Amino acid sequence: MSDQPLDGAVALVTEAGGGIGAATARRLAREGAAVALLASRADRLTQVADDIAGLGGHAVPVAADVTGPDGAEDAVQEALDKLGRLDVLVNSAGIMLLNSALHTTVEEWDRMVARNVEAMLHVTHAAVPHLIYAASTSPRQVADLVNVGSTAGRVARRGSSVYSLTQAGLNAFTESLRQELLGERVRVSVVEPGLADTELNDRLGEFGGAGALRAEDVADAIGYIVTRDRRVAVNQLMVRGGDQAW
């Protein structure tokens, strides 16, 4: 019998071509899961899949735009076709474009809403029935849905109005979904990182400066959540860099 807690499980990780998504995919593969890697750029996904294979794991790329419901449905179905089931969903896609309401564009606001909210909603809606089925049929007798948010969902700062809006909404959505899926044995959790050294923070400018997390630090938090015994649910986990004050 394998001593890997996710042996036989299948995970789907969004934005898995780099940053937190790629680090999470590698972490879950080390725990024994087969991983469907979802993002829009196929070349990045192939590299992550090759990295995981080199470590003895198994991952398959699923290249898709999931900001629309049809794309999300097709992506989840492709993951099921390739790997057979779905036990863990990690919604890690996101974009942070910081600017004042006076100087930003509506297009930047729309991009954040599409990536941070709409993509999460569409993938979640497509995946939930399969997570429920996995929880009732797998040896683990539990499934997991983890949304990656941000400390910006709790602490709004100047220039982050719409980004904070998307993250606060993600928190509320996650809590409501947690209550809805309790009886289905699907654990729903949110991980809220502070500043992290990823592409998401490329435009921090004056808002940066605190000691940043690594993508692997956030992946460790996600790995901790989904490898707990089924009697334990870690529903919220905030992870900041040691020097981050807010």
Q: How far apart are CA 127 and CA 41, in angstroms?
A: 21
- Range scoring the smallest mean pLDDT among 99-103, 124-128, 147-151, 174-178: 99-103
Give the model's pLDDT for residue 3: 81
Tell me if residue 163 is catalytic: yes
On the question of pLDDT at 113 being above 80, the answer is yes
Give mean pLDDT, residues 86-110: 94
User: By three-state DSSP, how is residue 73 classified?
Assistant: helix
The two beta strands, 236-239 and 186-193, are parallel
The two beta strands, 58-63 and 236-239, are unpaired
Residue in this structure with the two tokens 């997570």, named with its chain if needed: 131
Among 163, 165, 193, 213, the active-site one is 163
pLDDT tens, position by position, 15-60: 999 999 999 999 999 999 999 999 998 999 999 999 999 999 999 9
Contact 36, 60 (CB under 8 A): yes
Q: How far apart are CA 201 and CA 204, in angstroms?
A: 5
HSE-up (13 A, CA, CB side) for residue 39: 26
Global pTM? 0.93
Domain coordinates in residue numbering, the chain: 10-239
Give mean pLDDT, residues 145-174: 95
Residue 61 pairs with which residues in a beta bridge?
37
Give the model's pLDDT for residue 212: 86
Q: How far apart are CA 158 and CA 9, in angstroms?
A: 42
Q: How far apart are CA 124 and CA 185, in angstroms?
A: 16
Contact 1, 80 (CB under 8 A): no
User: By three-state DSSP, how is residue 17 classified?
Assistant: coil
Residue 128: its H or E element: helix 119-137
- Range scoring the smallest mean pLDDT among 23-27, 109-113, 170-174, 201-205: 201-205
pLDDT tens, position by position, 59-94: 999 999 999 999 999 999 999 999 999 999 999 999
Give the model's pLDDT for residue 11: 98
pLDDT band at 196 (very low <50, low <70, confident <90, very high): confident
Give the model's pLDDT for residue 1: 39
Give mean pLDDT, residues 126-147: 97
Give mean pLDDT, residues 117-145: 97
Q: How far apart are CA 131 and CA 188, in angstroms?
A: 11
On the question of pLDDT at 225 being above 50, the answer is yes
On the question of pLDDT at 180 being above 60, the answer is yes
Contact 241, 161 (CB under 8 A): no
Give the model's pLDDT for residue 206: 45
pLDDT band at 242 (very low <50, low <70, confident <90, very high): confident
What type of residue sits at position 63? A
Q: How far apart are CA 41 and CA 44, in angstroms?
A: 6
**Which CATH code, of 3.40.50.2300, 3.40.50.720, 3.40.50.1100, 1.10.10.10, is assigned to 10-239?**
3.40.50.720
